[in-house]
Amino acid sequence: MTREIDRSTGYIRLGRGMTYSLEPGWENGLQRLVPPHLHDGLLNYLFDGIEPGRFLCAVLDNDLSGAVVRADAESLAGLRGLVTWLNMYVPRPAWPGCRKSWCEMHAQTQFDEDVDNVRAWGAQRREFTTVATVTGRWSSSMPNLQDLPRNDR
């Protein structure tokens, strides 16, 4: 399971056949339609699954009254452009009303990657431990094992 993110092209692959991309022209649309102070929150949400601030959460949840109540003056003025940009460029699993599942997909993919990395490290550790036991010495090619406590060797 591999997560691939390419912010320059808008490509998002979350593993297990979950591949999404922002529509062509998304960067220009972002610059034209969305207030600049919202860019980082939106991009972190889309590419990394990081929950944005309360205003953007309300917008992504399709909660108009919540968005209006939480908006500052600049965000309120840019609400129409923001919703237009979301409709034109953002894949459906990320919007509208799918914020929690989008963040959970990112989190699950990251968790699966971490588990795979731990399993790979464990297999590598067992292999090097076996080599060290047979040869009776530690090799400098055995990564990370010198950092282990003495009783683990």
CA 15 → CA 94, 113, 135, distances in Å? 16, 10, 40
Instruction: Give the pLDDT of residue 38.
Output: 97
pTM: 0.65
The domains of the chain are located at 1-153
Question: Is the torsion defined by CA of 68, 70, 76, 82 positive or negative?
Answer: negative
For residue 18, the 8-state DSSP code is: -
Residue 12's φ and ψ, nearest 5 degrees, are -135, 115
Residue 31 has a pLDDT of 95
C-alpha distance from residue 74 to each of 63, 81, 85, 108 (Å) = 18, 11, 16, 34
Bridge partners of 103, per DSSP, are: none
Tens of each residue's pLDDT in the chain, 153 residues: 466 667 777 777 766 667 788 888 999 999 999 999 999 999 988 888 889 999 999 999 999 999 999 999 999 999 999 999 999 999 888 888 878 888 788 777 666 666 666 666 666 555 555 555 555 555 555 555 555 555 544
Q: In what order do the strands lie in the sheet with 4-6?
A: 4-6, 11-13, 19-21
Predicted pLDDT at 87: 94
